[in-house]
Chain A
Amino acid sequence: MRRRDFLKWQLAGAACLATGFGLSSVSDANQAPAAWPDVAIAKGDPAKAVRAAVDALGGMGRFVKAGQKVVIKPNMSFARAPELATNTHPLVVREVLVMCKEAGAAKVRVLDHSLQDPEQALVLSGIRDACDSVEPGICHHLMDNSFYQEASLPDAVEMRTNAFMKDVLEADVLIAVPVAKAHGSAGVSLAMKGQMGLIWDRKVMHGRYSLDVSLADLAQRLKPQLSIIDATRVLTTGGPGGPGKIITPGEVIASADPVAADATAVASYEWYGRVMQPRQVAHIRLAHARGIGRMDIEKLRTQRMSV
């Protein structure tokens, strides 16, 4: 993926030099591809920050083409109100949904697979109402195994098979929209960890396989094209369900590379009052080693903005 990008940028740069014009993407972003950062961090109002961060990456049109099927994966599994930072902020999810529709997506779904009572979670998180205000009936917890289909993970080291949501297997674009929070066994629950909500059998990832290895296996199979981490409020202790210490940086982190997005979130905030390095989260380290993404964010281009 990186090599393709690199070549694209070289060609674009050459074209710029030849024609003297800047190449613009399908959306109305006016930055050249060569100027797209690897990670964008926008600070401000939740909806505006999301839009600014995605626009900095080239706009939603870079990720979603007209007529495509999109699955948005937020965190909405806990029956807690938004300010408790265990679910993605509803306005963040809503803005992502709006942007997908603006880019011309034919079918957008907001899906998750809750561990506990799905109805309470959808109501108390505020996410279903937020989605219904844009398009009713697309936000669901899929609790019935008839929505899932067995599929293989051919590049996996340990977890070589599982059942995935049929909507995800058919989707063209997968967008991860997690909330930034700590996790008692994985360290943090961000874009990579969030993909666990799209499969049927999670127990095997603890019981039969090593959690970190199976998370990396999953990230290889279900790599989101766009990761938007909601750090408007961050649950820094007691995650993933709380209660815990909540800080409110008011930021949104976006990247086409889920590992880089996760790494940025780990490095940007204090977890349990400590400054931690991305390499200290085992599944991020493994994903970097396998080439799924990059955790060496100091070598990547990060653009910060305020809205």
Chain B
Amino acid sequence: MRRRPAFRSANSGRRLAQGLSLLFFLYLLWTMRAAGSGCLPDWLPPDLYLRLDPLAAFAVPVAMREIIPPLLPGLGVALLALLFGRIFCGYICPFGATLDLARFLGARRPAKRRDPSPGHEVPAATPRVWHGGKYLLLAALLAAAALGVNAVFAASPIPLITRFYATFILPLAQLAGKQGLDLLRPAADSLHLDALSYAQLAVRRFDALFFILVFFGALLTLEHFRPRFWCRCLCPAGALLALFSRRPPWRRRVSRCTGCGQCREHCPTGAIDASVFHTDHRECIACRRCEAVCPGVTRFSFTSSRGHEGRGPLTDGAGRRARARSGLPGRRQFLQAGLAGAGCAACSLLGLDSLQQPAAIGLIRQAALLRPPGAVPEEDFLRLCLRCGACMQACPSNGLQPTYFAAGVAGMFSPVLVPRRGPCEANCNACGQVCPSRALRRLPLDEKQRAKLGAAVVLPKKCLAWEQDRRCVVCQEVCPYGAISLRPEPGRQVPVPFVKPQRCFGCGACECHCPVESPAIVVEALGALRLRTGSYIEAARDAQLVLELEPKDAIHLLPGGEALPDGALPPGFTE
């Protein structure tokens, strides 16, 4: 079979677009670490791809019962499908690009010249009825959203792939880089390459990786046996685009058909049926492999080709005569899926899954849950948060971590602050800058510095100063808000720390740096401020909080503002 030149142009063009899209996606992910530093123009947000997720664009506004402006571009992508079909899946989606890349990297090299090149083997078929699975999943997720529960995060491709790269791949790359630097350092020293010998790479670490490993491990392995299995059978965003792609103007058109059937064999999503003229455009992800292997004329275009030669029927044959079996499930199945989704949502709302879930009706809020600064109140937060991991990627101290069940099943993989891993840096507001759904409000720095996360509490029985009469007070040393004061305590030779909750932001620097193995000062979500709208500066003032990095009363003799009692020694001095 002669390879047509079109193979190179159509398929290479698509691969180029897909590759560039993936690289661009990774570049944006990398810039999140520097969020707010101005390395991107204002009109190019680092969370661009997350905003393009069509599923989030539909489901989150339904769950919230209001329009979410930052997510509107996702609706644009869905509307794009009206014109171009599932071109997003074939050209833009980084999840699809990752699957294709995995297949390419894992493919066996061709033994003979005539064998198909890597990535172009004949893909194994999946039963057509399996393709309906993605529609059922979509129905379940939308039903859950209708009840106000956001379960989109479980299956939405863009947040999932963002978390895959941010919490797994990039830390792996950093680990490899660090090992490389460690190996090169002696050589760099002797060659006086100072920039290299002092180069340091901080390796990020994230919790809740087991899910990512299992989920993506399964999918990437499956990719070698059933290419694009996710896109065919599971992806609810793909299902949503499919619903818009019944008959797009830009679609596959066949003219000179030789009847060889190669296109049907090579189609990775099984979109081409027996008659080879008819394409189920809902399943077609516009990968254009059919174009590549066709000895006749197959094109993706807006218009039919002129000049019909050959033996087969004319043009694209999507006429009423050739009605292919559709992968769409029946009405009853849709209903069942919807009920299943709604049922799970109802369980979640009643809190049957966890007694500690804060959003459930009338249950106790779990005190230890520290949310990132600027997080909206918990009920809305759980609806808005896509579990994309952008905030975790942006956080400079690596303190924002995904949680398994600390916030209940409905809160899985949502971000919590783990101060022992890293505090909330006082001069940073990166997380809010990158959150695509505004579950974390985008706050200017002075507002963020009043978005109290909680308050620190000293555990005197563990504290070196309180319990063992030893000189420590590292907590006071690192507190950026001056919330820890030192007082002489009767019966003790050393000053002991006291927390002033009105001055404490809850950043966790104290807990992070406490030298005791199990910290003697811990931050809990006490007095946290969480506002859907409005000014944190005003709210802090109303709550009588004094959250200043350089308080105007800094000239007081003791941090915290108390005067040194007569006859008392300054902290740290002895007789």
Q: Which residues of A are at the interface with B, using a C-beta cutoff of 8 A? A: 79, 84, 115-117, 120, 137-138, 140, 142-144, 146, 182-188, 202-204, 206-207, 210-212, 237-238, 240-245, 271-274, 276, 280-282, 285
Q: Which of B495, B550, B569 contacts A280 (CB 8 A)?
A: B569
Which stretch (B43-51, B84-92, B509-517) binds chain A? B509-517
Kindly list chain A residues whose C-beta atoms are within 8 Å of the C-beta of B574: 187, 280-282, 285
Query: Provided the pairs A211-B472, A281-B573 are in contact, do residues A243 and B551 lie with their beta carbons within 8 angstroms?
Result: yes
Interface residue range, chain B:
35 or more
List the B side residues contacting A137 at CB < 8 Å. Answer: 194-195, 198
CB-CB nearest in chain B for A201:
B515
* Cα distance A138–B195 in the bound complex, in angstroms: 9
- Residues on B with C-beta less than 8 A from A202 are 515
- Say which residue of A140, A188, A211 sits within 8 Å of B470 (CB atoms): A211
**Residue pair B564, A274 in contact (C-beta under 8 Å):** yes
Closest chain B residue to A118, Cβ basis: B200
Task: Report yes or no: A138 in contact with B194, Cβ–Cβ below 8 A.
Answer: yes
Question: CB-CB < 8 A to A245: which residues of B?
Answer: 554-557
Once the chains bind, are A276 and B570 in contact (CB under 8 Å)? Answer: yes
B572 at the binding interface (Cβ < 8 Å) = yes
Interchain CB contact under 8 A, B554 and A182: no
Cross-chain contact B557 with A188 (CB below 8 angstroms)? no
Indicate which residue in B194, B557, B573 contacts A237 across the interface (CB closer than 8 Å): B557
- Across the interface, which residues of A come within 8 angstroms of B494, CB to CB? 185
A185 touches B495 (CB 8 A): yes
Distance between Cα atoms of A8 and B472 in the complex (Å): 42
Q: Taking the complex as formed, is B480 at the interface, i.e. its CB lies under 8 A from any CB of chain A?
A: yes
Nearest CB in chain A to that of B552: its residue: A243
CA distance A184 to B477 in the complex (A): 7
Q: Are A244 and B397 in contact (CB under 8 A)?
A: no
Nearest chain B CB to A115 CB, angstrom units: 6
Tell me whether A143 and B473 are in contact (CB under 8 A): no
By a CB distance below 8 angstroms, the chain A residues around B473 are 184-185
**Pairwise interchain contact A207-B516, C-beta atoms closer than 8 A:** yes
Q: With a CB–CB cut-off of 8 A, which chain A residues contact B364? A: none
B558 at interface by CB-CB < 8 Å: yes
B396 contacts the other chain (Cβ, under 8 Å)?
A: yes
Beyond A137-B195, A143-B200, A184-B572: 4 further Cβ-contacts under 8 Å? Answer: A183-B477, A271-B570, A273-B557, A282-B574
In residues 366-415 of chain B, which contact A (Cβ within 8 Å)? Answer: 396-397
B279 nearest CB across to chain A (Å)? 54
CA distance A203 to B554 in the complex (A): 28
Of the A-B pairs whose beta carbons lie under 8 Å apart in the complex, a sample of 8, sorted by A's number, is A138-B194, A143-B200, A184-B477, A204-B515, A243-B551, A272-B557, A276-B570, A281-B572
Known interface pairs A116-B478, A206-B472; A143-B558 also in contact (CB < 8 Å):
no
The answer to whether A144 touches B570 (Cβ under 8 A) is no
A169 to B477, CA, bound (A): 28
Main secondary structure of the interface of A (DSSP, over half): loop
Q: Which residues of A contact B465 (CB under 8 A)?
A: 185
Query: Is B477 in contact with A240, judged by CB distance below 8 angstroms?
Result: yes
Closest to B550 in A: A243
Q: Tell whether, in the assembled complex, residue A206 and residue B474 are in contact, meaning their CB atoms are under 8 Å apart.
A: yes
> How far does the alpha carbon of A117 sit from the alpha carbon of B477 in the complex, in Å?
14
Interface 0/1 of B471-485, CB less than 8 Å to A: 111101111101000
B207 within 8 A of A: no
Q: Are B427 and A187 in contact (CB under 8 A)?
A: no
The residues of A that contact B195 with a CB separation of less than 8 Å are: 137
Chain B minimum-CB-distance residue to A285 = B574
Nearest CB of A to B462, in Å: 11
- Chain A neighbourhood of B185, CB < 8 A: 146
Q: Is the CB of A186 within 8 A of B471?
A: yes
Q: Is B575 an interface residue (CB 8 A)?
A: yes
> Is B177 on the interface with A (CB-CB < 8 A)?
no
Query: A116 to B564, Cβ gap below 8 A?
Result: no
B372 to chain A, nearest CB (A): 17
Q: Chain A residues with Cβ under 8 A from B555's Cβ?
A: 244-245
- B202 at interface (Cβ–Cβ under 8 A)? yes
Judged by a CB distance under 8 angstroms, whether B464 is at the interface is yes
B491 to chain A minimum Cβ distance, whole angstroms, is 18
Given the contacts A184-B571, A185-B495, A271-B573, A237 and B427 also touching, CB distance less than 8 Å: no
Task: Give the shortest distance, in Å, between A150 (CB) and chain B (any CB).
Answer: 16
CA distance A261 to B195 in the complex (A): 34
A65 to B307, CA, bound (A): 90
Among B426, B482, B571, B575, the most chain A Cβ lie within 10 Å of the Cβ of B571
Among A138, A203, A204, A276, find the residue whose CB has the most chain B CB atoms closer than 10 A: A203
Chain A CB within 8 A of B486 CB: yes
Task: Give B475's nearest chain A residue, CB to CB.
Answer: A184
With beta carbons under 8 angstroms apart, the residue of A142, A184, A206, A272 that contacts B515 is: A206
Question: Using Cβ atoms and an 8 Å threshold, which residues of chain A touch B470?
Answer: 206-207, 210-211
Residues of B within 8 A of A116 (CB): 423, 478, 509, 513
List residues of chain B with CB within 8 A of the CB of A138: 194
Candidate in A185, A186, A212, A280 with the most chain B CB atoms within 10 angstroms: A185
